[in-house]
Structure 1
């Protein structure tokens, strides 16, 4: 007899090994049952049959159990290096020997006494039935045990020739066939289960591999975006600083209009970089909102100034309803949310208009961006907030954006605790809304007072700039000097320490780029300077968008300022830094 594993089954070898392992795994229970049953038989027949016959048969059972236990230990010692076909043959030979010994019971101890017949029927039937579960993993092994166990007793009954013995023989043979067939069914189910288990294991392995590939691809994407963003942010930051310096020089001059065009031309690149930065900062969970009350109208005016030209080029009407209401949020982050809403509305509105308005809802204010565009199917209302999802851009046309705007808006809204809603149908335009807490006048006045103090906070302060980009150093220095700050610049911690030592310049605050030359960081540079000159207030500048690097920078406990940084943001950050960490 052979195990019915289909030819060509990809898991045939694995199933065969598992069948072999199960035969030896079940053996302890088989041996315990054999020893207990043999002892019971010996006790019953001790005064019925010759003592020598009883002792000899029991000794053979005990010896075989010991041999089978020793063989099992040899098998276990092999670990996973066993040959399944060889060990299955060994196990089958052992079950055949055990079956023959139990079959001898039906011949050596046969008799007409009621207690003898009852004992033989119960013991031989019980041993045959009990072996089904332990040997059904390999039907030939079970048959090798069951047939020699039952057949001698059945034949001995037939030899007696009486009707009673004929019925017992027939019942015994029927019982044997039923158990063998039952064992076949159990084996079939077991083999199917084993094959399914191995298939599932391969599927899990394949899924893990795909997950690893996807994670590596995502990491590569993030690193690429981070590297590209960092390299682009350096010159963009320098341009921003130089434009801010020139704007003061060219006030009320004809060249000021050209400077305005230069600033406007850089907004597209800055917008893309900000999208990449927001994406990475959300991924790194590194944004700390600055929530306070402020009037909403200046923010709406900024939206109009940003998108009016774009709307005009497309022939769309951009209408922003004025408001005198205050809101409580982070103005920069809230503006990012609304900018993404408006940009998305203009992108998907071929004709008609885009309207921005507010509606009171108790203590909340709902800010709506409504368009007359193509609309969004209800099935995609949640998908539009997924990263890189775009409804009508299968060719990934860069002019249609990256598919990050609504994802970033949703992430920033979650960070601020604002609720975002969408209401849209195909062909009927869309309304994107964000609910914001209404602001308080007392909170506004306190914030305005703090801003008013910023102008005085920087006068006469000494600022140390550490950056490996000479344009950044120059731009920052010129900006700070126009605020009546004393500045000195260095490209490394070593140079900064040397300058302080030689010139006696003791900074009130330090601005250090995160990524410096020779695989050093701004946090290391600040730590080196502080170790020599004490706890000087400091902040990190970075153009990185790699979430890992952002988390590393945040872990230093230093304030993190992201490039490109406008003059207003730089001034506010420095003032806040000096106010929170006054120099010793």
Structure 2
């Protein structure tokens, strides 16, 4: 009930505002019509009466104008009940003056009669539009303006005048009915406006809540990405270190199975976090012109060890093509394509290449795997869908890779799809706009060189996680490296000075408990030790982190990484420094 009363009060306010907003046009019309009526009837020997009546109309017009000014001075703090009554009183007074004219100037002379009829009918009709927002205000003018003239016609007691009076009465009643319909439309429009305003306010609130939730999800994903990858990283490196010790041990087979489980855990973790980022809209595309071959070769080189375990050969067709896309997100799409090809292929090779299609470049990943039935070629991009895995074997993944690829392609506005023949293999593709080589941005990238021996090299490890520091140190010891491990740059510098060592390379985690991050820690150490080669480890796979690392000039490795990847990175860094 209270809400209903509130709506009625708001509607009354709007009706009052409309009456006073329309008032200038009403007053102009009244002044013109009254002057016209006097001009037409000037020859009826009622000059003084006409002038007095016209003066009264103009005086009332002036009062109504002053009333409007006072209303406007109230601003938004006016009392609608008081001012609606004031408006009705003014319209009633105007109606009375016009009603007086209908009696005072009444004559059986045809010209006068026609003039009065036309002017009164015009005033009643004009008041419909100007006062349609509030029927009582219209009726307050129409009835006193017309009824005296109607009564005067009927008082003549002749058929013509009775008919004229009756027709005039019907005309007035029809206009009142029409005015009431217009009022209902105006009120409905006002209600809809209020409802729309409430809906906009509600949607704004929901958007604000959703943005806050999205920001919270983004913070959670960043923390989860780092915290979950830390123990997985430690497990990965410890297993690699143990693999060196048990190379010829009977338990090597058991360790291989543990290693496979660790790889599965790493892949599942990466997939889940990437899927969560897609679903929470925590990814922002930042497209630019990129050369495609280096990107394709980098992804294939990183995934080559997985392919070799299944005796698969990955090849990249040479191309000079440039595309326009977000390199980090495009790389994630292609990574999912190639991992999917490795997963479902048991022989042959995987070929990655580009094909020019007008103003677009189609990047294709061909495999010789089991193939996909035509009926399932759209379904494979759905969330959690897996072909040939009804038992939901986690070793075969979660069915999120192609879903992530599809979601990212929608974000990038890239076309993607698959062509496949059962038993012969599949071709997954993503189509990107053609890039321009003249718009390429130089991004530090170095082709992998021959592995530089790490024996006797001093590697500084900075990580605030004891387990990760221990696992990296353990892995480095297998390569006969001298390891210095610390939780931050200050501690690292103290240890180096105490031991009298100069690091040949620095491995730093991006997210540290101190105020500075890994990049800042490296820069701080470089200011003291010189231009020491450095690599950053991070559990955050966000595109912004990749861009930030590229701009810093440091090599970026994503956790969890294998011992092979770490060794290749360190060998490359140290080899370049000594070249």
- What TM-score results when the alignment is normalised by the length of structure 2? 0.73
Describe the superposition over 1:251-281 as per-residue Cα deviations: whole angstroms up to 9, x where unpaired.
Answer: 3333433432331232232122111343367
1:195-344 alignment runs, 5 A limit: 195-214=191-210, 216-279=212-275, 283-285=282-284, 290-292=294-296, 302=306, 305=309, 326-327=316-317, 334=334, 336-340=336-340
* Equivalent position of 1:447 in the other structure: none
The offset of 1:236, in angstroms, is 1.6
The offset of 1:141, in angstroms, is 1.1
* Equivalent position of 1:456 in the other structure: 452
Report the secondary structure of 1:455's partner residue. coil
Contact 1:454 1:571 in 2 (8 A): no
2:87 counterpart (85, 91, 97): 91
Describe the superposition over 1:297-348 as per-residue Cα deviations: whole angstroms up to 9, x where unpaired.
Answer: 9969836957xxxxxxxxxxxxx9x7786556999964533545786x8xxx
* Equivalent position of 1:491 in the other structure: 487
1:141 and 2:133 matched:
no
* Equivalent position of 1:184 in the other structure: 180
Q: Distance in 2 between matches of 1:360 and 1:526?
A: 36
Contact 1:366 1:436 in 2 (8 A): no
* Equivalent position of 2:14 in the other structure: 18
Alignment: residue pair count: 535
The offset of 1:452, in angstroms, is 6.1
Contact 1:328 1:436 in 2 (8 A): no
1:367 and 2:367 matched:
yes
Report the secondary structure of 1:434's partner residue. strand
1:354-393 alignment runs, 5 A limit: 366-367=366-367, 370=370, 381=378, 385=381
When the two chains are superposed, the root-mean-square deviation of aligned CA atoms in Å is: 5.0
The offset of 1:530, in angstroms, is 5.6
Contact 1:284 1:551 in 2 (8 A): no
The offset of 1:181, in angstroms, is 1.4
* Equivalent position of 1:59 in the other structure: 55
Q: Distance in 2 between matches of 1:535 and 1:295?
A: 29
Describe the superposition over 1:329-371 as per-residue Cα deviations: whole angstroms up to 9, x where unpaired.
Answer: 999964533545786x8xxxxxxx9999879999666336547
The offset of 1:551, in angstroms, is 7.7
Describe the superposition over 1:117-166 as per-residue Cα deviations: whole angstroms up to 9, x where unpaired.
Answer: 34323322222111111211111111111111122222233334455544
Q: Distance in 1 between matches of 2:555 and 2:448?
A: 22
The offset of 1:180, in angstroms, is 1.0
| Distance change >3 Å, CA 133–CA 358, structure 1 → 2 | same
Describe the superposition over 1:479-502 as per-residue Cα deviations: whole angstroms up to 9, x where unpaired.
Answer: 456657665443223334556777
Describe the superposition over 1:410-453 as per-residue Cα deviations: whole angstroms up to 9, x where unpaired.
Answer: 356787978332779xxx9999741489xxxxxxxxxxxx7662
Report the secondary structure of 2:30's partner residue. helix
Q: Distance in 2 between matches of 1:517 and 1:28?
A: 70
The offset of 1:243, in angstroms, is 2.5
Q: Distance in 2 between matches of 1:457 and 1:61?
A: 107
1:174 counterpart (170, 178, 194): 170
2:418 counterpart (418, 421, 424): 421
2:428 counterpart (428, 431, 434): 434
Q: Distance in 2 between matches of 1:579 and 1:44?
A: 108
Q: Distance in 1 between matches of 2:499 and 2:141?
A: 98
Q: Distance in 1 between matches of 2:498 and 2:115?
A: 108
Report the secondary structure of 1:291's partner residue. helix
* Equivalent position of 2:103 in the other structure: 107
The offset of 1:84, in angstroms, is 3.2
| Distance change >3 Å, CA 405–CA 548, structure 1 → 2 | same
Q: Distance in 2 between matches of 1:495 and 1:272?
A: 35
Q: Distance in 1 between matches of 2:396 and 2:71?
A: 67
Q: Distance in 2 between matches of 1:397 and 1:169?
A: 93
* Equivalent position of 1:27 in the other structure: 23
Q: Distance in 2 between matches of 1:219 and 1:531?
A: 35
The offset of 1:92, in angstroms, is 1.7
Report the secondary structure of 1:421's partner residue. strand
Report the secondary structure of 2:428's partner residue. strand
- Structure 1 unaligned blocks of 5 or more: 307-319, 346-352, 438-449
Contact 1:513 1:542 in 2 (8 A): yes
